[in-house]
Amino acid sequence: MGFVLLGLASANGAAATLGMTGAALQMFTHGTITGLLFLTVGFIYERAHTRHIPDLGGLSGRMPFLATSLLIAGLASLGLPGTSGFVAEITIFLGSFPAWKIFAIIAASGVVLTPGYILWMIQRAMFGERPAHHESSRMLLYLK
């Protein structure tokens, strides 16, 4: 939500409309993506009975729907080009850079660091080595 504040702070700058539009889009995008992430974590917890990432490994083979859902939400959350997260973030940066160059550059460092923890989580939880106690976890191939 720091990107939203950066977009709102650009209201007096040369590209004020662009920054404000990006802030509004980021609020909607963040809510949608975060909702999907929480929904996916809820389904994983219901099936695996844990939220501890090291205990979740190899779930993509047993829960392909959840792996796809988590991957899509994770990539959208990190702002992969082609997703709504990217459109919102780039709009905020384009709107805020003329007015707040240093803050836009600092915020861009967050865009560089975000893929590290999101991709780490996806790799460990969905594609990592499966712990022995997950052999009995129920599959989720479709939603009932």
How far, in Å, CA of 75 to CA of 66, rounded? 14
- What pLDDT, on a 0 to 100 scale, did the predictor assign at position 136? 55
Kindly give the parts of the chain with pLDDT less than 70: 13-14, 131-144
- What pLDDT, on a 0 to 100 scale, did the predictor assign at position 35? 96
pTM tops 0.85: no
Annotated domain spans of the chain: 16-132
